[in-house]
Amino acid sequence: EGKERTEAEESAKKAKRTLDRFNGMSVEEVMARKLPDVITHNLDMLIIGINPGLLSAYKGRHYPNPGNHFWKCLYLSGLTDEQLNHMHDQTLPERYGIGFTNMVERTTPGSKDLSNKEIREGGHQLLEKLQMYRPLIAVFNGKCIYETFCKEIFGVKAKNLEFGLQPYKVPETETVCYLMPSSSPRCAQFPRAQDKVHFFIKLKELRDQMKGVVRTQEIQETSYTFDLPLAKEDAKRLSIKEEQHDPGYEETCAHGSQQHTQQAFEVRPSTDTDQVSDNRWTMQPFDQLNILFFIIVLFNILMCFACF
């Protein structure tokens, strides 16, 4: 009985959290919503997700989850010139030639809630959409989306898929396919935003190449590596060079340290006033004693006059 009561309480708390999350709407009500595409003709790239999640459907925006890496990577790669968020999704077609759609329209708590039939049918619906709007690049945000699309549309069972530009164009169009890791933070292979920026940078390069834009040097990839033995050798070599350049280096440093210590304890002559942190001026104790003495003398004089 106690266990059943605990489970009931947990269920009630979970339901309350859900209601709070969606401003009083139930999960069923949110799932009934659809997320509109942000799409127009002749886009540079169309970002393709698998289907709307609850938060996307509730807000009516693409990639609203603050943990999702999409908007951050978009900015870090130079695809946008400022940090944007889901509230700007409607402006991207005009400003940057970027649109949004999903393979499946139905909203679910997670992609695992979709049936294989839905995903396969979604592939054909996506094909019709791509043939109608003809973006320059169809960008698949996640492997599972492209795997299904590849099998349904190209009749090819994709094996050992690599991210980046794919070998097939969308039938009856010049639209190329580009595969990148899912921008979700749950992507186990690339769990951090910085792990995914590379693929956004390559996407930008592909777009510029296809549009004949001259590549700039504003965005450059950097390979971050650290070799401890090499670092030690470099440190040793630099130390030797410095000793050769200035044999008295250590002695100078030691002398400088002593001089700094002496300066730190150097006695300075006192001044009449010192400035305090709130930019007001305060008097030294000696001045305060003088004033107190003056007040006492003045008080005694007044008392004498009062006696007369």
Query: Which residues are marked as active site?
Result: 51, 62
Quickly tell me which residue has 């940078």 as its tokens.
201
Instruction: Residue 235: count other Cβ atoms within 10 Å of its Cβ.
Output: 10
Instruction: Residue 264: count other Cβ atoms within 10 Å of its Cβ.
Output: 7
Kindly state the DSSP code that residue 286 receives in the 8-state scheme: H
Cβ-contact 143, 182 below 8 angstroms: yes
Please tell me the chain's helix, strand, coil percentages from 3-state DSSP, rounded to the nearest 5.
50, 10, 40
For 275, the 3-state DSSP assignment is: strand
CA gap 238, 156 in Å, rounded: 56
Cβ-contact 50, 101 below 8 angstroms: no
What DSSP line would sit under 186-251, residue for residue? T-SSS-SHHHHHHHHHHHHHHHHHHHTPPPPSSS--------HHHHHHHHHHHHHHHHHH-TTHHH
Enter the tokens of residue 294. Answer: 């003056």
